[in-house]
C-alpha cells in the first residue's frame, strides 16, 4: 500500500513538473497556444493567444474554439478527435475572427496530448497576415506581368504579321527575277534585294526571339544546312556597306570542310549576321576577315571555329566582360555614332550556348576585335557533298598564278585557296612589284599563266597595271582577271575590253574563283557539289507537273506572287479572295493542294479548313497548307489542329513552295 501511494505521489510530481514546463513554454513562446478538449472547450491559453483573438485570457477560458474560428477552421480541428495516437497531429492554415471582427489568417499545428488520463489537444497558432499580404501582392504582380507579356506577345505577333505581308511580295519577286535570264550585274542586284529582305526577316525574328529567350521558350531546329552558303550569303548582304567604306571583305574556308551539316540555319545566320555586321559597322579602314577552321571530331561530327576579325575601333578591356550583356553599348559616344539596340550580342551568345557552343572576344582599343564562335555540328551524312574548297581540278600542266593586292590578308586567303588546287602562287602588294615579278618570271622561262589583279590599289591601280602588262607583247600569254569590289564598276572601264579575261566580285567566293579558273584554262572540274545551271529546277518541275492548286489570299499582291511562283513550278492555279470563296470553289473544283492564308475577311483560314474537312465529299484527299504571316509556334499548332497538313510562314520563297509541294504532292 505504502509503495503504491509512493508511486502515485511520484507520478503526480512528474505531472506537475511537466505541466509547469508546458506553462513555461506557453508563456515564453512567440506563437499562440490553445489547450482545449476535443469539443473545443478551452482549458488553457497563453498571453499571445489572448492578443491574437483580442480577448483576455480569463474570457478565453470561458469560450470554445468554435466561437472565433471561421469557415472550416474549427471543423478541421474537430476532426482531430478521430486521432488515436498521442502525438498525432495536423498542420494546416485557417482563419480566426478577433474581437473587432477582423479576419486573422493563421497557420496552425494541433496535436493530441495526455493529461490526468484525459486526452486533450494543443493547438499552436501563428499570425500569417503579413505573409498572406505578401503572397497576394506577389500574385497580383505575377498576373500583371503575365498580362503585360501577353499584350507584348500579341503586339509583336501583329507587327510581325503586318511586316511579313509586304515582305512576301519582295522576296517572291526577287526569287522570280532570279529565275529569269540576267547578266552578272543584274543577278548581283537581285541577290542583294533578296538577301536584304532576308536580313529584315532576321531582324523581325530577333525581336520575337528576345521574348522567347526571356521566357526560356527558344527551340532550335535540326535540319540539313549549307554552312558555306550561310556565310557567303551574309557577305553578299553586307558587301555594299564595305564598298561604301572602301574596306576589304575576306573569307577563307578549309579545303576539307564538308558542305552540309545538321543544325538550325536560321539561328546560325542570325548569329553571324550580327557578328559580321558589327565588324563592318565598327571598321572604317582596313578589312574584315572571316576565317573558318574545322576539325573532324568523329566520323559524324566536326568542330567548326569561325573567327571574325576586323581592323576597327576595338573595345576597351574594362568593357569586354560586359560586351555580351543585354542593351550594352561600348560607351555613349559610340552609341551616338553607331546605331544598335545592344541586343544582338546577347542574343547571339544565348543562341550559341543553346547549340552547346562558345563565343569569345579578343580586342584592344584602336586595334580591332576578333570574335570567335566554336560549334560542334553533325554532318548531314546521307546528303552531304564536299565544299567548293574541296573540289578538284585536273591540271594537265603545272600552273603559276600571280596575286596582286595591296591587302596582305586578302593575298594570303587567295593563296590558300589556289594552293589547295595544286596551283603555284606568287604574291605582290603593288603594281610596280607585280611588273618586276612578271618580268623576272619570263626571263627565268617560268611565266605566270594567270594574274589576279585588284582594281583599287594605291599608286598604280589595277587598270594601269593591266595597261602596262598589255603594252609588252612578250607578256601576251598571261591571262588577267580583275578583282572588283563594286558591282557598279563591273562594266568599267571600257578600255579593258579585250585586255582581261573576266572580272570577279569581292569578297571572292571559292566557287566563283574555281569556275573562272576552269573557264580560263578549259579544265575538267571534279565537283559533285556544283550542279549545272537549271538542273535542279528541271527536276523540280518534272516532279510537280499537273498539280491543281487553289490559293486563298485576300491580299492582291500576295495573290499575284503566289500565282506566279506556282505557275513557275508548272502548277495550274485558281485564286479565292477569302475563306468563304475557298469553300465554295472547293466543292465545285478538283484541287490537289490548297494554300490557305489565316487572317482573312468574311471567313478566316482556320474556319474555312474546318468547313472543307467537314464536307460530304472526300475532303481528306486535298492537301491544305497554311501560307500565313502568323509565324509563332502556337500559330502552327492552331493551323494543324484545324485540319491543315502543313505550315509555311511568310515571306515565302520559291524554294519553300518547291519543298512543300515535293513533300505532299505526287506527279499525276
pLDDT in the model for residue 449: 93
CA distance 71 to 69: 7
User: Does 331 have pLDDT greater than 70?
Assistant: no
Higher pLDDT, 390 or 74: 74
User: Does 439 have pLDDT greater than 90?
Assistant: yes
| Residue 59: band (very low, low, confident or very high) from pLDDT cuts 50, 70, 90 | very high
pLDDT in the model for residue 388: 47
pLDDT in the model for residue 344: 78
pLDDT in the model for residue 381: 67
| Maximum C-alpha span of the chain | 144
User: Does 341 have pLDDT greater than 60?
Assistant: no
The residue length of the chain stands at 668
- For 550, residues 6+ apart whose C-beta sits below 8 A from its C-beta are 573, 574, 575, 576, 582, 585, 586, 589, 591, 593, 594, 595
Single out the residue of 523, 225, 235, 238 nearest to residue 387, CA to CA. Answer: 225
In the numeric block, which cell numbers belong to residue 461? Answer: 591601280
Q: Are 602 and 578 in contact (CB under 8 A)?
A: yes
Taking all residues of the chain, what is their mean pLDDT, rounded to a whole number?
A: 81
- For 208, residues 6+ apart whose C-beta sits below 8 A from its C-beta are 156, 160, 631, 632
- CA distances to 107, 253, 424, 609 from 516, rounded to whole Å, are 83, 18, 17, 52
Per cent of the chain over pLDDT 90 is 32
Stated as kind and residue range, the H or E segment containing 75 is: helix 73-78
Average pLDDT for 380-403: 68
Q: How many CA atoms lie within 13 A of 387 on its CB side?
A: 26
Instruction: Give all strands (DSSP E) within 439-539, no chain letters.
Output: 450-454, 479-484, 502-505, 524-526
The CA-based angle 173-179-182, given to 5 degrees, is 100
- For 98, residues 6+ apart whose C-beta sits below 8 A from its C-beta are 52, 53, 54, 68, 104
Could you read off the pLDDT of 175-230 as tens digits, one per residue? 788 878 888 778 878 887 877 777 777 677 666 666 666 666 677 888 888 898 88
User: Does 346 have pLDDT greater than 50?
Assistant: yes
- For 276, residues 6+ apart whose C-beta sits below 8 A from its C-beta are 234, 235, 238, 288, 290, 308
Q: Are 293 and 305 in contact (CB under 8 A)?
A: yes
| Residue 326: band (very low, low, confident or very high) from pLDDT cuts 50, 70, 90 | low
Higher pLDDT, 5 or 459: 459
Stated as kind and residue range, the H or E segment containing 558 is: helix 556-568
pLDDT in the model for residue 335: 42
pLDDT in the model for residue 533: 35
In the numeric block, which cell numbers belong to residue 235? Answer: 557577305
pLDDT in the model for residue 392: 61
pLDDT in the model for residue 556: 83
pLDDT in the model for residue 532: 36
307 bridge partner residues: 291, 372
Stated as kind and residue range, the H or E segment containing 35 is: strand 32-36
pLDDT in the model for residue 632: 72
Could you read off the pLDDT of 492-509 as tens digits, one per residue? 555 677 788 888 888 888
Cβ count near 128 (within 10 Å): 16
Q: Are strands 392-394 and 524-526 parallel, antiparallel or unpaired?
A: antiparallel
Higher pLDDT, 24 or 478: 478
pLDDT in the model for residue 373: 96
Single out the residue of 519, 486, 514, 478 nearest to residue 502, CA to CA. Answer: 519
- For 3, residues 6+ apart whose C-beta sits below 8 A from its C-beta are none
Q: Are 434 and 402 in contact (CB under 8 A)?
A: yes
Average pLDDT for 552-566: 86
Higher pLDDT, 85 or 355: 355
User: Does 610 have pLDDT greater than 70?
Assistant: yes
Q: Are 182 and 651 in contact (CB under 8 A)?
A: no
Q: How many CA atoms lie within 13 A of 96 on its CB side?
A: 27
Single out the residue of 211, 222, 299 nearest to residue 268, CA to CA. Answer: 222
- At residue 568, the 3 state secondary structure works out as helix
CA distance 149 to 147: 5
- What are the φ/ψ torsions at residue 78 (nearest 5 degrees)? -65, -25
- For 484, residues 6+ apart whose C-beta sits below 8 A from its C-beta are 455, 490, 503, 504, 505, 506
Single out the residue of 666, 663, 662, 653 nearest to residue 175, CA to CA. Answer: 653
Q: Are 338 and 277 in contact (CB under 8 A)?
A: no
pLDDT in the model for residue 115: 73
Could you read off the pLDDT of 1-17 as tens digits, one per residue? 444 444 444 445 555 55
At which residue does the C-alpha cell 514546463 appear? Answer: 21
pLDDT in the model for residue 10: 46
Q: Are 598 and 635 in contact (CB under 8 A)?
A: yes
In the numeric block, which cell numbers belong to residue 284? Answer: 572604317
User: Does 572 have pLDDT greater than 80?
Assistant: yes
Higher pLDDT, 562 or 435: 435
Higher pLDDT, 616 or 15: 616
| Residue 405: band (very low, low, confident or very high) from pLDDT cuts 50, 70, 90 | very high
80 phi-psi bin (left φ>0, alpha ψ -120 to 50, beta other): alpha
User: Does 459 have pLDDT greater than 50?
Assistant: yes
User: Does 359 have pLDDT greater than 90?
Assistant: yes
Cβ count near 658 (within 10 Å): 20
pLDDT in the model for residue 336: 44
Q: Are 370 and 420 in contact (CB under 8 A)?
A: no
User: Does 600 have pLDDT greater than 80?
Assistant: yes
Average pLDDT for 235-256: 84
Average pLDDT for 66-84: 70
pLDDT in the model for residue 86: 55
In the numeric block, which cell numbers belong to residue 420? Answer: 589547295
Q: Are 122 and 35 in contact (CB under 8 A)?
A: yes
646 bridge partner residues: 625
| Residue 667: band (very low, low, confident or very high) from pLDDT cuts 50, 70, 90 | very low
Query: Measured in Å, how far apart are the chain's first and last C-alpha atoms?
Result: 113
At which residue does the C-alpha cell 519577286 appear? Answer: 173
Amino acid at each position: 500500500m505504502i509503495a503504491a501511494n509512493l508511486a502515485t505521489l511520484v507520478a503526480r510530481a512528474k505531472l506537475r513538473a511537466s505541466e509547469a514546463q508546458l506553462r513555461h513554454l506557453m508563456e515564453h513562446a512567440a506563437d499562440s497556444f490553445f489547450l482545449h478538449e476535443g469539443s473545443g472547450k478551452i482549458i488553457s491559453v497563453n498571453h499571445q493567444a489572448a492578443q491574437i483573438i483580442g480577448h483576455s485570457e480569463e474570457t478565453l477560458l470561458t469560450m470554445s474554439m468554435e466561437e472565433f474560428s471561421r469557415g472550416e477552421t474549427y471543423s478541421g480541428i474537430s476532426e482531430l478527435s478521430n486521432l488515436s495516437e498521442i502525438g498525432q497531429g495536423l498542420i494546416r492554415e485557417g482563419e480566426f475572427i478577433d474581437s473587432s471582427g477582423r479576419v486573422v489568417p493563421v497557420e496552425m499545428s494541433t496535436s493530441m496530448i495526455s493529461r490526468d488520463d484525459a486526452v486533450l489537444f494543443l493547438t499552436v497558432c501563428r499570425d500569417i497576415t503579413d505573409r498572406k499580404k505578401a503572397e497576394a501582392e506577389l500574385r497580383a504582380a505575377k498576373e500583371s506581368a503575365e498580362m503585360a507579356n501577353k499584350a507584348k506577345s500579341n503586339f509583336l505577333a501583329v507587327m510581325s504579321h503586318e511586316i511579313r505581308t509586304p515582305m512576301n511580295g519582295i522576296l517572291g519577286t526577287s526569287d522570280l527575277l532570279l529565275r529569269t535570264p540576267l547578266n552578272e550585274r543584274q543577278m548581283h542586284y537581285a541577290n542583294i534585294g533578296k538577301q536584304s529582305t532576308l536580313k529584315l526577316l532576321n531582324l523581325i525574328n530577333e525581336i520575337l526571339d528576345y521574348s522567347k529567350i526571356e521566357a526560356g521558350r527558344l527551340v532550335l531546329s535540326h535540319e540539313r544546312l549549307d554552312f558555306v552558303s550561310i556565310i557567303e550569303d551574309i557577305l553578299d548582304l553586307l558587301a555594299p556597306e564595305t564598298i561604301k567604306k572602301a574596306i576589304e571583305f575576306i573569307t577563307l574556308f578549309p579545303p576539307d570542310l564538308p558542305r552540309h551539316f545538321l543544325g538550325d540555319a536560321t539561328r546560325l545566320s542570325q548569329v553571324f549576321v550580327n557578328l559580321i555586321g558589327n565588324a563592318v559597322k565598327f571598321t572604317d579602314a582596313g578589312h574584315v576577315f572571316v576565317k573558318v577552321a574545322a576539325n573532324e571530331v568523329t566520323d559524324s561530327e566536326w568542330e567548326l571555329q569561325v573567327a571574325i576579325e576586323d581592323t576597327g575601333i576595338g573595345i576597351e578591356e574594362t568593357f569586354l566582360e560586359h560586351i555580351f550583356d543585354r542593351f550594352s553599348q561600348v560607351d555613349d559616344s559610340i552609341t551616338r555614332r553607331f546605331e544598335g539596340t545592344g541586343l544582338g550580342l546577347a542574343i547571339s551568345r544565348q543562341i550559341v550556348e543553346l547549340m552547346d557552343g562558345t563565343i569569345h572576344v579578343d580586342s584592344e582599343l584602336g586595334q580591332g576585335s576578333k570574335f570567335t564562335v566554336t560549334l560542334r555540328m553533325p554532318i548531314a551524312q546521307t546528303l552531304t557533298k564536299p565544299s567548293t574548297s574541296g573540289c578538284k581540278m585536273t591540271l594537265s600542266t603545272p600552273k603559276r598564278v600571280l596575286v596582286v593586292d595591296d591587302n596582305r590578308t586578302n593575298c594570303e586567303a587567295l593563296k590558300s585557296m589556289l594552293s589547295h588546287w595544286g596551283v603555284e602562287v606568287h604574291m605582290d602588294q603593288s603594281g610596280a612589284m607585280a611588273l618586276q615579278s612578271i618580268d623576272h618570271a619570263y626571263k627565268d622561262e617560268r611565266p605566270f599563266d594567270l594574274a589576279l589583279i585588284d582594281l583599287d590599289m594605291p599608286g598604280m591601280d589595277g587598270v594601269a597595271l593591266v595597261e602596262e602588262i598589255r603594252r609588252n607583247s612578250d607578256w601576251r600569254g598571261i591571262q588577267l582577271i580583275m578583282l572588283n569590289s563594286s558591282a557598279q564598276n563591273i562594266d568599267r572601264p571600257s578600255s579593258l575590253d579585250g585586255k582581261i579575261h573576266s572580272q570577279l566580285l569581292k569578297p571572292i567566293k571559292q566557287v566563283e574563283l574555281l569556275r573562272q579558273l576552269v573557264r580560263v584554262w578549259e579544265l575538267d572540274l571534279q565537283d559533285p557539289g556544283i550542279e549545272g545551271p537549271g538542273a535542279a529546277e528541271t527536276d523540280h518541275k518534272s516532279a510537280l507537273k499537273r498539280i491543281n492548286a487553289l490559293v486563298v489570299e485576300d491580299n492582291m499582291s500576295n495573290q499575284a506572287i503566289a500565282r506566279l511562283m506556282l505557275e513557275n513550278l508548272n502548277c495550274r492555279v485558281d485564286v479565292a479572295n477569302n475563306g468563304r470563296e475557298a469553300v465554295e470553289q472547293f466543292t465545285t473544283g478538283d484541287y490537289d493542294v490548297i494554300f490557305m492564308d489565316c487572317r482573312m475577311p468574311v471567313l478566316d483560314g482556320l474556319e474555312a479548313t474546318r468547313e472543307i474537312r467537314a464536307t460530304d465529299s472526300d475532303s481528306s484527299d486535298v492537301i491544305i497548307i497554311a501560307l500565313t504571316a502568323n509565324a509563332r509556334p502556337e500559330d502552327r499548332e492552331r493551323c494543324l489542329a484545324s485540319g491543315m497538313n502543313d505550315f509555311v510562314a511568310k515571306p515565302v520563297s520559291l524554294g519553300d513552295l518547291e519543298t512543300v509541294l515535293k513533300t505532299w504532292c505526287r506527279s499525276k
